[in-house]
A and B are shown apart, each in its own frame.
Chain A
């Protein structure tokens, strides 16, 4: 069951997206649970009561609290980077802040059926990955960490520091081994000592990467041009 929220102050837009999604769910083998909100406040209230969504279709120009603020709250205050946010927008000019929320995509008004479905499928693809775990051993205990929550691995001498959205831990392993294990999950070794989750990169420059927790990781001199070349193939 995929939990979806649609949040727009225009009731017509809400029902339009809902209809498109429900129609699609009838022909495809997916189960959708759709909630509709007309204000950003009501959406956040609902989330605060320990409800989670996989996907949020979020209007940018909401009444009191706008879509940018809602998105920022979800990402920065609630530290939720897993929920895919898809912005609905009336005009095409976007504020820079909007991009810090790392939305999956923008849907322009008038709403096109194909865009809504394409974005749903893209989000489902990402969600599929987010259910995978990385396992490491420390002493006699095994730890399972959702891959989507890992920001990066740092190698310090013979130890590995694993940094996630909520915590940090150390264990013994070789960075190359981890890199090989996470080959399919867009983890990139940008430096001799850093293995970085591309999904958690907030700002990428030629020489460094700012992660979603604002830690800045350097890109090794010999890795720069290869990493740059790779980025162009990713997007």
Chain B
């Protein structure tokens, strides 16, 4: 009778465990790659498999391995890399295990050995452990930064990974040693729990720092664009002033020439004048200052670099999207296109900016040498000395996401295409 009761409690306990796992994983991850129903099914699967493993095998070591393996599979359902999966599982699992060990110690005589079946089968204990783990999940729920999808550097990752693993190894060592007093074991378990919670805290803080750093770099980059913007407007104004001034001076000699009837000299001077007006080549004449100034500025040396530029803009003069955001998107897209097309001999860039059905659709296409460098699903620049690897694309993605827009990257051997959709 007692035996059956125990299993019933145990199964219910595992159900709670699955829920605790769900809560825990949700602390680390915000975006699920699959439908909510599939997600729930995965946890139910976890519950069933873990119950079966336990009932069938009754070997703590196997149960532990099965648990970690299943959890790892579950984390694959969420957006994040493998490093993040491993780290979060170990933190989760070992935190829970330390708690379990603590209660095992408190509720019965401790006789844990990794290779013999469980001897500890107190229904009361099982219940208490589940409640405690639930409590723990709610206690650490406040850590929000670990959700960020920013990949952490390997050195940090290894350090963070080693802490929970180390604490558990030591915990096992303590358990194996039967000569230790209950008080010492108790202190060790409490320490292990604290170590794991602090690791969690560190991980959270490191993630926050990394995200901060990234945002800082992005905003620096964006400011740089804005400064450029101002510079180029000033340059244009200066240029216009010089032209106006020049024009007066150049036209002046025409009067005497015309008056004296020296047609040959007059024609020569006039043709020189028309050269003057072609100094500033305008690629974009949409009337939208922001598009025009960025595009014309970025392409001012294009002709000298032998790049064929084709710009088509059909947009209203006034748009409701912040100037800053547009500047960053277009500026970065053009920079990338220029950088890439310079690596080939057949150099061309096509840009189309179209307003349609309340949306802004920005398309760029350029020739390139066919060599792509990608890192963790994002494209990075091939400027080796640049500490801001891939910041440009990241800035674009950032702004596009903020406006619920979409960025599409497409390429073949010769042509690289970007397409940005923005709702206005």
Taking CB atoms and an 8 Å cut-off, the chain B residues in 105-152 that contact chain A are: none
A91 within 8 A of B: yes
A229 within 8 A of B: yes
Q: Is the CB of A98 within 8 A of B287?
A: no
Q: Is the CB of A94 within 8 A of B421?
A: no
How far does the Cβ of B320 sit from chain A's closest Cβ, in whole Å? 9
A157 within 8 A of B: no
Q: Is the CB of B419 within 8 A of A92?
A: no
Interface centre among A106, A202, A232 (most CB of B within 10 A): A232
Q: Is the CB of A92 within 8 A of B359?
A: no
| Bound-state Cα–Cα, A93 to B318, Å | 10
A46 within 8 A of B: no
| Bound-state Cα–Cα, A116 to B417, Å | 26
Q: Is the CB of B287 within 8 A of A99?
A: no
Per-position contact with B for A82-120: 1 when CB-CB < 8 Å, else 0?
000000000111111011001001100000000000000
Q: Is the CB of B318 within 8 A of A96?
A: yes
B313 within 8 A of A: yes
How far does the Cβ of B224 sit from chain A's closest Cβ, in whole Å? 28
Q: Is the CB of A205 within 8 A of B314?
A: no
How far does the Cβ of A216 sit from chain B's closest Cβ, in whole Å? 12
Q: Is the CB of A202 within 8 A of B357?
A: yes
B212 within 8 A of A: no
| Bound-state Cα–Cα, A48 to B244, Å | 51
Q: Which residues of A are found within 8 Å of B358, using beta-carbon distances?
A: 202-205, 210
Q: Is the CB of A206 within 8 A of B287?
A: no
A156 within 8 A of B: no
Q: Which residues of A are found within 8 Å of B314, using beta-carbon distances?
A: 94, 105-106
Q: Is the CB of B361 within 8 A of A235?
A: yes
Q: Is the CB of A235 within 8 A of B354?
A: yes
How far does the Cβ of A40 sit from chain B's closest Cβ, in whole Å? 21
The dominant DSSP class at the B interface is strand
Of the four ranges (under 10, 10 to 19, 20 to 34, 35 or more), the interface on chain B belongs to: 20 to 34
A174 within 8 A of B: no
* Residues A94 and B423 in contact in the complex (CB < 8 Å), given A99-B355, A202-B357: no
| Bound-state Cα–Cα, A98 to B423, Å | 18
How far does the Cβ of A139 sit from chain B's closest Cβ, in whole Å? 37
Per-position contact with B for A218-235: 1 when CB-CB < 8 Å, else 0?
000000000011011101
Q: Which residues of A are found within 8 Å of B405, using beta-carbon distances?
A: 228
Q: Is the CB of A98 within 8 A of B357?
A: no
Q: Is the CB of A201 within 8 A of B419?
A: no
Q: Is the CB of A91 within 8 A of B406?
A: no
Q: Is the CB of B357 within 8 A of A201?
A: yes
Q: Which residues of B are found within 8 Å of A232, using beta-carbon distances?
A: 361, 406, 408, 419, 421
Q: Is the CB of A91 within 8 A of B356?
A: no
B231 within 8 A of A: no
B404 within 8 A of A: yes
Q: Which residues of B contact A (CB under 8 A)?
A: 285-288, 313-318, 354-359, 361, 404-406, 408, 419, 421, 423
Q: Which residues of A contact B (CB under 8 A)?
A: 91-96, 98-99, 102, 105-106, 201-206, 210, 228-229, 231-233, 235
A-B CB contact pairs (8 Å), 6 listed: A94-B316, A201-B357, A203-B357, A228-B405, A231-B421, A235-B356
The 6 tightest CB contacts between A and B, nearest first, are A93-B287, A203-B358, A206-B404, A96-B316, A92-B285, A204-B357
